[in-house]
Structure formats: structure tokens, C-alpha cells
């Protein structure tokens, strides 16, 4: 009996220190509803990695919760465009863009096989008309099986015409690198994982009645993948330029948690902004006897909003400004120009 127990213990230790393999069964499918939480990206460390590495993100603070709802194509507004039982969509945004280039009810459509999980197209409403764009070369998000030290690359190409002489296109390539394995701990759970760096090197092009322009769009995500959760246990994503990564979003797999505690700040001794990240509607809370002029600037130093802030809760709504997603800096200065509050705000 003792020998049997010893053998079981040895096998358990070996398995605990063995890397996992990610396959198509580890990916979400039609009908899956998965909860995640968002945390502020400021100060979140993403670089350390290694073999049998332990990533401790148990101190992440939730500022927002939402659901990934993977719907079969027929149950979306774009069933006509994406026909097939193995195609399904995920709503990415209620609205993106501004003015002439504003799109609503934006969905990504996916397909998975035993060898790949990929994006096939995008559905959106333009002037309340359901439209769709297709990848002429699908964006392969993952190639299977996925193991430590795997590296793959794939091209993608996408284009869509929305009439009235307007068209949008994107082309580029994606590089995936698995640079670590081990286990990760978040406020949700501790699980075995692979750490994947996924970088999309894209060129976006817009054409309007024969006049066109292009601009680079390079995005990077650090993902911790498990065999059980279907979405990344943790994903830190943002812009990647000149070998510099600027994290703008942190999301992790989670259970339902009440947000009430985040908004009962009357007795706090710290000035804060919540929720952060925000969809454009948020609160600036200043402690007792604190007040001043608030300014919000983008990463280029351009002022986008100014207002007076008083002690207590100040509700701010930036939605009318149609600001781009990204990081902004909020500063509140008192009469002497001393800093009352200075924090980053992430608009999703």
C-alpha cells in the first residue's frame, strides 16, 4: 500500500509540473456564455515568464464585469451573411467610430476546427442596415495543438464596402509565441496555463470617393490560456509601437461579483475615479475639502474636456464627445495649481 501511495504521489507531482496542451476543445463554442472582469491596466506587470512559472495576479481589483456571449449565426442580426452551423458570433461593441464612420451592434464571427480557431468576418449596422465584411484571408487567432515554445504566423486580409463611396480594409499578419508555462492565480481561481504573446501587425485603409489613406494598427495581447476556461484566464492587451507595449485593457475570467462595494466611497480617504476602464460615463470622487479644475488630455497632450470638480461625487459623461478608445490622463488642480488628483482613465 505504501508503495502504491508513493507511486501516486510521484505521478501527481510530475503532472503538476508538466506543461499543458491547448487544443480546439479549449476554445469557446456556439452557446457559451462566459463571465469576465476588467481591471485597471496601470501598474499591471506582464513581462515575467518562464518554465513551470507561477504568475500571481490574485490582487487584481475588479472595476467592471461583463459577459462573452457566443451566439449561433442564425440568432444574430447577420444570419443572412454567415450561414453555417459551425459559425458563431460574439458582440464586440454597441457602437464604434464617429460621424460618417459610426457602426453599431458590431459582431466578430468565428469558426473553429481541429487545427485552427479563426475570425471569418464582421457584422455591423450602418444607418441601421445590417451589413457584413469578410476576411478574404481569415485571421487565425490560434493554431492547434498549442504547446510551449510553439511559434506560428499567418496573414489576414479584410475589406468591406458600406456604400456611398466608402470602404474600409485591413491587411497584415499575426505572430503567436508561447513563451512560458506553469500556473496562474487570479481572484477567480488557480489553474495550469500556457502564456501566449499574440501580436497583430495590421495596416488599416479607408477610401472615400476615390480619396484614401492608410495607417498602421499594431496590437499585442499577453494571454494565459487553460484547458478548462475557454477564454484566457487573463488577457492584457494594448498597442505595440517601436518595441514598446502600452497596456490599455486587462480582463480575466471571473464569477459574478457585486459592484456595489466599488461605489460606496463616501467614507474613503482617497480621491478616485470609477469605473475605470469606462465606457465614457464615470465618476470622479474627491475627498472632503478637495476641489479644483479638472482637465482630460489624450496621450498627445491634447485637451479633450475641462470642468470644475467639487468634494464628493462628480458624474462625468464623455459619450457626446465620441472619443477614441484608449488611455487619457485626468488631472484636478486646486486654486494654487497644486495637484488634487492625477490618474489615467481607460475608455473602452
Q: What is the pLDDT of residue 57?
A: 96
Rounded to an integer, the average pLDDT of 23-41 is 93
Q: What is the pLDDT of residue 55?
A: 98
Highest mean pLDDT of the ranges 75-84, 147-156, 302-311? 147-156
pLDDT score of 258 more than 70: no
Within 8 A by CB and 6+ apart from 17, the residues are 52
Percent of the chain with pLDDT over 90: 47
Rounded to an integer, the average pLDDT of 204-231 is 92
Q: Domains for the chain: give ranges and CATH numbers.
A: 19-253 (no CATH), 260-347 (2.60.40.3080)
Q: What is the pLDDT of residue 16?
A: 43
Q: Nine-digit cell at 151? A: 511559434
Given a contact cutoff of 8 angstroms between Cβ atoms, the answer to whether 196 and 49 are in contact is: no
Q: What is the pLDDT of residue 272?
A: 79
304-328 per-position pLDDT tens digit: 898 898 888 888 888 888 888 888 8
Rounded to an integer, the average pLDDT of 3-10 is 41
* 99 vs 111, higher pLDDT: 111
b/e string for 66-93 if b means 16 or more Cβ within 10 A?
eebebbbbeebbbbebbeeeebbbbbeb
Q: What is the pLDDT of residue 1?
A: 42
Q: What is the pLDDT of residue 247?
A: 92
Q: What is the pLDDT of residue 164?
A: 73
Q: Nine-digit cell at 58? A: 490574485
Instruction: Give phi and psi for 37, each to the nearest 5.
Output: -115, 155
pLDDT score of 268 more than 80: no
Q: What is the pLDDT of residue 285?
A: 84
pLDDT score of 191 more than 60: yes
* 213 vs 301, higher pLDDT: 213
* 70 vs 276, higher pLDDT: 70
Q: What is the pLDDT of residue 100?
A: 65
Average pLDDT, the chain: 86
Within 8 A by CB and 6+ apart from 175, the residues are 151, 152, 153, 198, 199, 201
Rounded to an integer, the average pLDDT of 154-178 is 90
Given a contact cutoff of 8 angstroms between Cβ atoms, the answer to whether 280 and 317 are in contact is: yes
Q: What is the pLDDT of residue 178?
A: 98
Amino acid at each position: 500500500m505504501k508503495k502504491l501511495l508513493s507511486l501516486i504521489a510521484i505521478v501527481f507531482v510530475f503532472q503538476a509540473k508538466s506543461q499543458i496542451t491547448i487544443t480546439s476543445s479549449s476554445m469557446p463554442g456556439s452557446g457559451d456564455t462566459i463571465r469576465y472582469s476588467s481591471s485597471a491596466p496601470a501598474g499591471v506587470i506582464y513581462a515575467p515568464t518562464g518554465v513551470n512559472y507561477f504568475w500571481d495576479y490574485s490582487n487584481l481589483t475588479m472595476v467592471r464585469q461583463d459577459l462573452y456571449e457566443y451566439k449561433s449565426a442564425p440568432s444574430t442580426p447577420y444570419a443572412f451573411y454567415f450561414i453555417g452551423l459551425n459559425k458563431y458570433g460574439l458582440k464586440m461593441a454597441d457602437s464604434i467610430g464617429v460621424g460618417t464612420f459610426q457602426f453599431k451592434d458590431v459582431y466578430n464571427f468565428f469558426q473553429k476546427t481541429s487545427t485552427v480557431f479563426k475570425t471569418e468576418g464582421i457584422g455591423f449596422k450602418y444607418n441601421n442596415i445590417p451589413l457584413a465584411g469578410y476576411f478574404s484571408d481569415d485571421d487565425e487567432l490560434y493554431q492547434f495543438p498549442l504547446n510551449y515554445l510553439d511559434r506560428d504566423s499567418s496573414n489576414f486580409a479584410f475589406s468591406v464596402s458600406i456604400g456611398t463611396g466608402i470602404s474600409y480594409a485591413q491587411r497584415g499578419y499575426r505572430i503567436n509565441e508561447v513563451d512560458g508555462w506553469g500556473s496562474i492565480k487570479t481572484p477567480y481561481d488557480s489553474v495550469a496555463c500556457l502564456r501566449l504573446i499574440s501580436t497583430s501587425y495590421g495596416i488599416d485603409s479607408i477610401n472615400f470617393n476615390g480619396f484614401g489613406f492608410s495607417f498602421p494598427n499594431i496590437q499585442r495581447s499577453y494571454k494565459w490560456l487553460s484547458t478548462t476556461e475557454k477564454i484566457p484566464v487573463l488577457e492584457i492587451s494594448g498597442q505595440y509601437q517601436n518595441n514598446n507595449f502600452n497596456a490599455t485593457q486587462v480582463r480575466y475570467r471571473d464569477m459574478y461579483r457585486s459592484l456595489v462595494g466599488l461605489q460606496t466611497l463616501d467614507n474613503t480617504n482617497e480621491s478616485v475615479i470609477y469605473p475605470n476602464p469606462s465606457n465614457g460615463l464615470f465618476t470622479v470622487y474627491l475627498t472632503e475639502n478637495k476641489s479644483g479644475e479638472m482637465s482630460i488630455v489624450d496621450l498627445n497632450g491634447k485637451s479633450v474636456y475641462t470642468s470644475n470638480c467639487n468634494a464628493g461625487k462628480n458624474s462625468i459623461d464623455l459619450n457626446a464627445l465620441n472619443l477614441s478608445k484608449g488611455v487619457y490622463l485626468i488631472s484636478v488642480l486646486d486654486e494654487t495649481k497644486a495637484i488634487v488628483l492625477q490618474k489615467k482613465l481607460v475608455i473602452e
